[in-house]
Structure 1
Amino acid sequence: MSAEGGLTTTGYIQHHLTNLAVCADAAKDATGHCHGFWTFHLDTLVVSGLLGLLAFGLMAKLASKATAGVPGGWQNFVEMVIGMVDQQVRDTFHGKSALVTPLAITIFIWVFLMNAMDLIPVDFLPIAAAAVGVPYLKVVPTTDPNLTFAMSISVFCIMLWMNFKVKGFGGFMHEVFTAPFGAKLAPVNLIFRIVEDIAKPISLALRLFGNMYAGEMVFILIALLGLYQLPLALPWALFHILIITLQAFVFMMLTIVYMSMASESH
Structure 2
Amino acid sequence: MAAEGNVSGYIQHHLTNAQMCMADGGLAFNHACHDAGFWTWHIDSLLFSVGLGALFLFIFYKAGQKATTGVPGKFQCFVEMMVEFVDGAVRDAFHRTDRVIAPIGLTIFVWIFLMNLMDLIPVDFVPHVAGLMGAEYFKIVPTTDLNITLGMSIAVFGLIIFYSIKVKGLKGFTKELTLNPFNHWLMIPFNFLLESVTLLAKPFSLALRLFGNLYAGELIFILIAALVPLWAQWALSVPWAIFHILVIVLQAFIFMMLTIVYLALAHEDH
Query: Residue 206 of structure 1 aligns with which residue?
Result: 208
Structure 1: stretches of 5+ with no match in the other structure: none
2:214 maps to amino acid: M
- Report the Cα offset of residue 7 of structure 1: 7.8
Asked if structure 1 preserves the Cα contact closer than 8 Å seen for 2:19 and 2:30, the reply is no
Aligned mates of 1:31, 1:236 — CA distance in 2: 33
How many residues matched?
A: 264
- 197, 202, 214: which one pairs with 2:199? 197
Asked if structure 1 preserves the Cα contact closer than 8 Å seen for 2:119 and 2:141, the reply is yes
2:98 maps to amino acid: S
Aligned mates of 2:23, 2:117 — CA distance in 1: 34
- Report the Cα offset of residue 171 of structure 1: 1.4
Query: Is structure 2 residue 29 aligned with structure 1 residue 34?
Result: no
Asked if structure 2 preserves the Cα contact closer than 8 Å seen for 1:208 and 1:251, the reply is yes
1:32 maps to amino acid: A
Q: Where does 1:144-223 land on structure 2 (aligned, <5 Å)?
A: 144-184=145-185, 185-223=187-225
Query: Residue 85 of structure 1 aligns with which residue?
Result: 86
Aligned mates of 1:101, 1:212 — CA distance in 2: 25
Query: Residue 260 of structure 1 aligns with which residue?
Result: 264
- Between 7-16 and 199-208, the greater mean CA deviation after superposition: 7-16
Asked if structure 2 preserves the Cα contact closer than 8 Å seen for 1:177 and 1:183, the reply is no
Compared with structure 1, are the counterparts of its residues 31 and 134 closer, same or farther at alpha carbon in structure 2 (3 Å cutoff)?
closer
Aligned mates of 2:239, 2:108 — CA distance in 1: 27
Query: Residue 243 of structure 1 aligns with which residue?
Result: 247
Aligned mates of 1:169, 1:140 — CA distance in 2: 39
TM-score, normalization by structure 2: 0.93
Offset from partner CA, 1:225-256 (integer Å, 9 cap, x none): 12211100000000000000000000000000
2:234 maps to amino acid: L
Query: Residue 8 of structure 2 aligns with which residue?
Result: 10
Compared with structure 1, are the counterparts of its residues 261 and 144 closer, same or farther at alpha carbon in structure 2 (3 Å cutoff)?
same
Aligned mates of 2:56, 2:155 — CA distance in 1: 20
Asked if structure 2 preserves the Cα contact closer than 8 Å seen for 1:82 and 1:105, the reply is yes
Aligned mates of 1:39, 1:182 — CA distance in 2: 45
Compared with structure 1, are the counterparts of its residues 76 and 202 closer, same or farther at alpha carbon in structure 2 (3 Å cutoff)?
same
**After TM superposition, where is structure 1 displaced by more than 4 Å over at least 4 residues in a row?**
26-31
Offset from partner CA, 1:80-124 (integer Å, 9 cap, x none): 011011111001011222111010000000000000000000001
Asked if structure 1 preserves the Cα contact closer than 8 Å seen for 2:20 and 2:28, the reply is no
* SS of corresponding position for 2:32: coil
Asked if structure 2 preserves the Cα contact closer than 8 Å seen for 1:126 and 1:136, the reply is yes
- Report the Cα offset of residue 31 of structure 1: 4.8
Structure 2: stretches of 5+ with no match in the other structure: none
Aligned mates of 1:164, 1:12 — CA distance in 2: 49
| Matched-pair identity in % | 51
Aligned-residue CA RMSD (Å): 1.9
- Between 217-226 and 144-153, the greater mean CA deviation after superposition: 217-226
- Report the Cα offset of residue 33 of structure 1: 4.4
Aligned mates of 1:57, 1:32 — CA distance in 2: 36
Query: Residue 125 of structure 2 aligns with which residue?
Result: 124
Asked if structure 2 preserves the Cα contact closer than 8 Å seen for 1:22 and 1:34, the reply is no
Query: Is structure 2 residue 113 aligned with structure 1 residue 112?
Result: yes
Asked if structure 2 preserves the Cα contact closer than 8 Å seen for 1:28 and 1:34, the reply is no
